[in-house]
Chain A
Amino acid sequence: MTFGEQTERELAEILTRYPDKRSALLPSLHLVQREQGYLSPAAMEEVARRLSLQPVEVLEVATFYTWFNLKPVGKHRLQVCHNLSCTLVGAERIIGTLKEELHIGENETTPDGLFTLQRVECLASCGTAPMMQVNEDYYENLTPEKARALLQQWRAAANGG
């Protein structure tokens, strides 16, 4: 199995940065997820093969770390912090708003494949709470209105608007 050209290039470069190639596991999984959106069993087996690991050694790492998706997620992975500082200033209202607007529960994806909703732990953004991470970006100082506006924006973009 080969990955995309840039992924392959970066996978090769990573291997030069560690005296032990097992250390390249997390970086490799990051690259694969960036390209494919999640870590499929086939992709994990390929990474295992390249790093001389057993597939289960890759799977146990993939399941230990919350960043990795083990199945496809929506185009916009909404990761809302529900830890203490965010909860004190309204995180639950944000989560409630998103559930209401999207008609999905936690760890679910909208039928159109646009949104996945998840609760996550502290993202080191407590001073600009409540907030969420969507894919790789932070959206801070949220209000229910801002959250709704973001959803509308993304829906419009998906509809070519």
Chain B
Amino acid sequence: MPTYEKILLKKMEQPGYTGTLPEYLAAGGYEAVRSVLGKVPPAEVIERVKRSGLRGRGGAGFPTGLKWGFVPKDAGVPKYLLCNADESEPGTFKDRQLIERDPHQLLEGMILAAYAIGCHHSYIYVRGELVYGATVLARALAEARAEGFIGKNPLGSGYDLEITLHRGAGAYICGEETALIESLEGKKGLPRIRPPFPAVKGLYQCPTVVNNVETLCNLPHILTRGPDWYASIGTEKSKGTRIFSVSGHVNKPGNYELPLTVTLRELLTENAGGVSGGRALKAVIPGGCSAPVLTPQHLDVGMDFESLAAAGSMGGSGGVIVMAEGSCMVKVGEVVARFFHHESCGQCTQCREGTAWLHKVLARIERGGGRREDLALLLDVCDNMIGKTICVLSDAAALPVASYVRYFRDEFEAHVRERRCPLAA
């Protein structure tokens, strides 16, 4: 079984490591900040991140350096770097681990990102429920401030930088970057129409970059070991490692950091201990609940963005949810539809009405009240939800539901025909 070098989880997996500043420094932390701040021109930092091939780890996989490059150089207004720590995609728990167990890695990444785009006041938007994580971050910020890594003229760099911790309050949609911005402005998390994109007009209508926790955590490593080192890991278009959160019917649920060359089979059998209860695999979601489902026929798919897209799903958040034989896929669809119905912000008719209908119809089928026309109705509703809304929550609800019907049609039909779950004891 191959072993891979860990990058993001490396320090925290050392025995006894608790993520305090002295420990982070002893393990080589803040070297990137020391060597970059005030010494490497910001434009060069952006170039190195572009060359590394780093892509966003929140869900969209957008090239990070490219996103930074959209920020106008001489905007004449403040620029903002926002850390998206709103981790709420079901099946995903990697950012939480990064925050709780190695907060300075994130802070160092934020300092580097802020410097690269010319931001002097950065915010961490952390989901409201992660109270412990917020406490850890607050402690780390205090340590960093006391040691002169943030604040006025950190490390004599001449580059002032303030970082403020901002807690959300329970809203999945606030992980969407424009909804996050609206929320930070003190409003409901209603996504904005684009263009303009945040890089041009974001927080307070100023140029803004929103980056995921894991994305930012990669920066200290890219800037100390070099972009070519980073680009030597992974596939041609999906560079580096990813932290896959594995959960559901597996023997060893948890976070697994692996190069993007890994296959789903390798992740599940050689890392997460295989399907639990000695059962066969029935279905697996590879990238959070927004991702269409895959089946055992897809086990050898690569976990990189391109391979998963080609297989009809997506890399998404890297949240891998495993379902064993015996799982009712109608129930799975109902739970997923219920989630999106709950989280729709309500702005767009297709999403507001569509998520409600998907949930209602799936709930009815699940409890034995399905009608013959229901499957066609579900697919028709899905069709009306895709590509027509201000943000992609609508697509995130519709594409998975369509995939459950596609791969498990006979199960849905059996529920309708028999007016009950055929798997129920």
The 8 Å CB contact of A127, one of B189, B253, B331, B343, is B253
Instruction: Determine whether the beta carbon of A85 is less than 8 Å from that of B91.
Output: yes
Instruction: Determine whether the beta carbon of A129 is less than 8 Å from that of B289.
Output: no
A123 to chain B, nearest CB (A): 5
Bound-complex Cα distance A67 to B95 (A): 20
Bound-complex Cα distance A73 to B164 (A): 30
Instruction: Determine whether the beta carbon of A125 is less than 8 Å from that of B186.
Output: no
Instruction: Determine whether the beta carbon of B90 is less than 8 Å from that of A83.
Output: yes
State whether the Cβ of A133 lies closer than 8 Å to any Cβ in chain B.
Answer: yes
The 8 Å CB contact of A30, one of B167, B185, B204, B254, is B167
State whether the Cβ of A66 lies closer than 8 Å to any Cβ in chain B.
Answer: yes
Q: Looking across the interface, which residue of chain A has its beta carbon closest to that of B189? A: A64
Contacts of B96 in A (CB 8 A): 124-125
Contacts of A138 in B (CB 8 A): 132
B247 to chain A, nearest CB (A): 4
Instruction: Determine whether the beta carbon of B128 is less than 8 Å from that of A65.
Output: yes
The 8 Å CB contact of A26, one of B88, B169, B319, B323, is B169
The 8 Å CB contact of B183, one of A17, A20, A26, A83, is A26
B257 to chain A, nearest CB (A): 14
The number of chain B residues with a CB under 8 A from chain A is: 53
Bound-complex Cα distance A25 to B168 (A): 11
State whether the Cβ of A143 lies closer than 8 Å to any Cβ in chain B.
Answer: no
Instruction: Determine whether the beta carbon of B168 is less than 8 Å from that of A124.
Output: no
A24 to chain B, nearest CB (A): 7
Q: Looking across the interface, which residue of chain A has its beta carbon closest to that of B171? A: A65
Bound-complex Cα distance A2 to B249 (A): 51
Instruction: Determine whether the beta carbon of B171 is less than 8 Å from that of A24.
Output: no
A135 to chain B, nearest CB (A): 9
CB-defined interface of A59-98 with B at 8 Å, one 1/0 digit per residue?
0110011111000000000010011110111000000000
Q: Known contacts A17-B164, A84-B335; is A126 also within 8 Å of B169 by CB? A: no
Contacts of B167 in A (CB 8 A): 26-27, 30
Instruction: Determine whether the beta carbon of A84 is less than 8 Å from that of B91.
Output: yes
Instruction: Determine whether the beta carbon of B327 is less than 8 Å from that of A121.
Output: no
Contacts of B327 in A (CB 8 A): 88
State whether the Cβ of A112 lies closer than 8 Å to any Cβ in chain B.
Answer: no
Instruction: Determine whether the beta carbon of A84 is less than 8 Å from that of B336.
Output: yes
Contacts of B321 in A (CB 8 A): 84-85, 88, 126
The number of chain A residues with a CB under 8 A from chain B is: 44
State whether the Cβ of B70 lies closer than 8 Å to any Cβ in chain A.
Answer: no
Q: Known contacts A22-B187, A26-B166, A85-B248; is A126 also within 8 Å of B90 by CB? A: yes
Query: Main SS of chain A's interface residues?
Result: mixed
The 8 Å CB contact of B170, one of A20, A66, A89, A126, is A66
CB-defined interface of A8-48 with B at 8 Å, one 1/0 digit per residue?
00000000011110111111011000000000000000000
Q: Looking across the interface, which residue of chain B has its beta carbon closest to that of A30? A: B167
Contacts of B246 in A (CB 8 A): 127
Instruction: Determine whether the beta carbon of B90 is less than 8 Å from that of A85.
Output: yes
Instruction: Determine whether the beta carbon of A124 is less than 8 Å from that of B92.
Output: yes
A119 to chain B, nearest CB (A): 9
Instruction: Determine whether the beta carbon of B255 is less than 8 Å from that of A127.
Output: yes
Bound-complex Cα distance A124 to B97 (A): 9
CB-defined interface of B66-97 with A at 8 Å, one 1/0 digit per residue?
00000000000010000000011111110110
Instruction: Determine whether the beta carbon of B249 is less than 8 Å from that of A122.
Output: no
Bound-complex Cα distance A20 to B343 (A): 27
Q: Known contacts A122-B88, A124-B88, A127-B255; is A61 also within 8 Å of B186 by CB? A: yes
State whether the Cβ of B27 lies closer than 8 Å to any Cβ in chain A.
Answer: no
Enumerate A125-142 residues with CB–CB distance to B below 8 Å: 125-129, 133, 136-138
A141 to chain B, nearest CB (A): 10
State whether the Cβ of B339 lies closer than 8 Å to any Cβ in chain A.
Answer: yes
A45 to chain B, nearest CB (A): 16
Contacts of B249 in A (CB 8 A): 88-89
Contacts of B339 in A (CB 8 A): 83-84, 121-122
Residues of B in contact with A (beta carbons under 8 Å apart)? 78, 87-93, 95-96, 127-132, 164, 166-172, 183-189, 204, 245-249, 253-255, 285, 289, 319, 321, 323, 327, 331-332, 335-336, 339, 342-343
17 new A-B contacts, CB < 8 A, other than A79-B129, A120-B170, are A20-B204, A23-B166, A24-B186, A25-B186, A65-B128, A65-B189, A68-B169, A85-B91, A85-B247, A121-B172, A121-B339, A122-B89, A122-B91, A126-B92, A126-B247, A137-B131, A138-B132
Q: List 11 A-B contacts (CB under 8 A).
A: A20-B204, A22-B187, A26-B183, A65-B168, A65-B171, A84-B332, A84-B336, A122-B172, A126-B91, A126-B247, A127-B93
